Structure 1
Amino acid sequence: MALTQREEEILACIEQNPMISQQELASMLGITRSGTAAHIFNLMRKGYIQGKGYIVSPAQYVAVVGGVNIDIHGMASEHVVGLSSNVGHLVTSVGGIARNVAYNLTSFGIKNYLVALYGDDANGKLFKEDARHHNIDITRSLQVHDKASQYLSVVSASGEQIVALDDMGISSGITPQFLQQRLGLFTQAAITVLDTSLSQEAIAWLCEHVHKPIYARVVSVNKAQRLVSVLDRIDTLVLAATEAQLVSGIDVRSVDDAVQCVRVLCEAGVRTVALLLNASTAVFAQEHEVWLARIPEELLGKHLSNGAPTAILSTLAWQYIEQEHTFQEIIGMAMASASLVLDSVEATCTDMTAEQVERRALSIEVQRVQ
């Protein structure tokens, strides 16, 4: 819930001195003690402070809400022939945009809570075990009597995705009512990350009730338009060129198109945009600054781009919490994370660390677009 100006003033005083008395607050702000008490009550009700002594609720965590999947990646060994069986290999792993963001943030040492639905079938149990193994906090998620989501991707021998199918009906259970039960989690989070596997109603609810930065990842062309009506509430947006037209109206086929697209999205109200043009190139914008970033050929690995946009989003969220680098440096780190994922059939890099990303970022080419 949003704070009034007076509540923001009181909260700032409490953050500086958690043991301050109501009378001291009243004297500092020139209001009555009873008025101060009412504001304190509202701050507690909204989740910004808790209990006696005005303990300020922890703000340095990320709430991640969206889809979890069992991913099946098919990698062709040679040129794919239509209407025929093709030689290749299959890799099954736990994934989903929201799960992968939570995984990446945990790898970076950032506290986060994953809010998702998962089934009670064998795949649901696999997800639960994976979360335990990787220290992903799913205490705000819910296991339901349903089958787990699945995602099937077929990739050419050169690393380009040929087709993908998702079976994510379970995500429709993330309703405004489901989210309302976790309102305090979103209220107290430093940022909330969502993906467009959520319904338009769920996205609208989050945009109405979350008054801290919202980061969003466009998942597919079929779900991209769910963000169009709330772009002015999205702080940071990450998308691929294939999804750009549905969100911005710009058909992105070149760097110039990408630059125009990110500028249109910033004009629509998005503060930060990252648009992955292809496996090696991305355009970033923050307010009125536009940057072009490229991954050198020697860092591209197998060119598997499936998890690159999610790696970029995760890095932007990580750096929002850390607040230690310039935007140009953050771009380099985001592309460094993407390059690590590009070498993996899975949509995450199993050994990615903050230190590894920071070192690799020194090799990323980042330049300002005039």
Structure 2
Amino acid sequence: MDDLGAQEQAVLDLITGNPFAGQQDIAAVLGIARSTVAAHIVQLVNKGYILGRGYVLPTSKRMVCVGGAVLDRKYHAKKDLILETSNPVDGYRSFGGVARNVAENLARLGVDISFVSIVGDDETGRSLVRHLRDLGADVSQVITTTERPTAEYAAILDRNNDLVLGIADMEIFDLFSSSYLDRFWPHLASATWVFIDCNLPAATLAALISRKQGARFKLAVDTVSSPKSARLPKDLTGIDLLFTNHDEANTMLGMTDA
């Protein structure tokens, strides 16, 4: 553990042996002040070696997905669409959101996965969270709010399966401010990989990417769409893996196709 000092390592070894050891006990064993032990523990939490008072040690190879959680609705026209009147369709609904999709796939693969997002205090949000929980994902860090409903996306497709109209209510993600990072940071810092998507506000993305540079985990980012890719900061230092496509990359770089 090259990022630990000798005393930090000694404190971690004692906590590993007895997670319920008190700071004064640790100080007595090491012959240092209790305040010094407290400072080392803060650094161990920030670096992800422990999760906080308890002291809870992180599980190995745990992944965290942070970002969009959405109800997707798709309507496939049975006949040629006629504007300004009712049209017969086949309707489908499923749970979506890039980060949520990744979390579900990893859970199905048996990965130790945790999901962090924000949903409304409604049946859609409760169903979405319950679905992931039933797959084995940790959803204890999902925020529930009464300020906005759970995000929804609806698409109308013609008989050829081409998109005619798409509408989205995603304002709930604007509530996921950078202030939440302090609440979640021990959870993120103790992960092996953290995956985030650009459904998060620009300020939150910038704060997380900047703060990650002092942490141990690897960071993967998905740009989601061309407009949302512009939310990433110009300086991408701290991102270990970037998922993007041609159009999204052009938007990030301020380029246009000739």
Q: Equivalent residues in 2 for 1:13-32 (5 A)?
A: none
TM-score (normalised: structure 1): 0.54
Bigger relative CO (Cα 8 Å, ≥ 6 apart): 2
Match of 2:198 in 1: 196
CA 1:220–1:39: 2 relative to 1, 3 Å? same
- Structure 2 contact 114–137 (Cα < 8 Å) conserved: yes
Distance 1:183 1:13 in 2: 21
**Aligned-pair CA distance for 1:74:** 2.6
**Aligned-pair CA distance for 1:209:** 1.9
The unaligned stretches of length 5 or more in structure 2 are: 18-29
Distance 2:158 2:5 in 1: 56
Match of 1:294 in 2: none
189-198 or 116-125, which deviates more: 116-125
**Aligned-pair CA distance for 1:230:** 3.8
Match of 2:228 in 1: 223
Match of 2:93 in 1: 92
Whether 2:132 is the aligned partner of 1:127: answer: no
CA 1:159–1:110: 2 relative to 1, 3 Å? farther
**Aligned-pair CA distance for 1:202:** 0.6
**Aligned-pair CA distance for 1:182:** 1.0
CA 1:240–1:233: 2 relative to 1, 3 Å? same
Residue 125 of structure 1: SS of its match in structure 2? helix
Q: Which has the higher helix share?
A: 1
TM-score (normalised: structure 2): 0.75
Residue 226 of structure 1: SS of its match in structure 2? coil
- Structure 2 contact 198–229 (Cα < 8 Å) conserved: yes
**Aligned-pair CA distance for 1:38:** 7.8
Residue 227 of structure 1: SS of its match in structure 2? coil
Match of 2:241 in 1: 236
CA 1:119–1:13: 2 relative to 1, 3 Å? closer
Residue deviations 1:282-341 (CA, integer Å, cap 9, x gap): xxxxxxxxxxxxxxxxxxxxxxxxxxxxxxxxxxxxxxxxxxxxxxxxxxxxxxxxxxxx
- Structure 2 contact 219–239 (Cα < 8 Å) conserved: yes
Residue deviations 1:131-176 (CA, integer Å, cap 9, x gap): 3333332110111113111012344555554543321111111111
Quote the sequence identity (%): 24
RMSD (Å) for aligned C-alpha atoms = 3.8
Q: Equivalent residues in 2 for 1:137-176 (5 A)?
A: 137-145=138-146, 146-155=148-157, 160-176=162-178
Residue 179 of structure 2: SS of its match in structure 1? helix
Residue deviations 1:248-290 (CA, integer Å, cap 9, x gap): 345579xxxxxxxxxxxxxxxxxxxxxxxxxxxxxxxxxxxxx
Distance 2:31 2:223 in 1: 48
Whether 2:28 is the aligned partner of 1:44: answer: no
**Aligned-pair CA distance for 1:102:** 0.9
The unaligned stretches of length 5 or more in structure 1 are: 20-31, 254-370
Match of 1:356 in 2: none
- Structure 2 contact 8–44 (Cα < 8 Å) conserved: no
Residue 205 of structure 2: SS of its match in structure 1? helix
The aligned length equals 238
Q: Equivalent residues in 2 for 1:51-130 (5 A)?
A: 56-76=57-77, 83=83, 88-130=89-131
Match of 1:298 in 2: none
- Structure 1 contact 204–230 (Cα < 8 Å) conserved: no
Match of 1:334 in 2: none
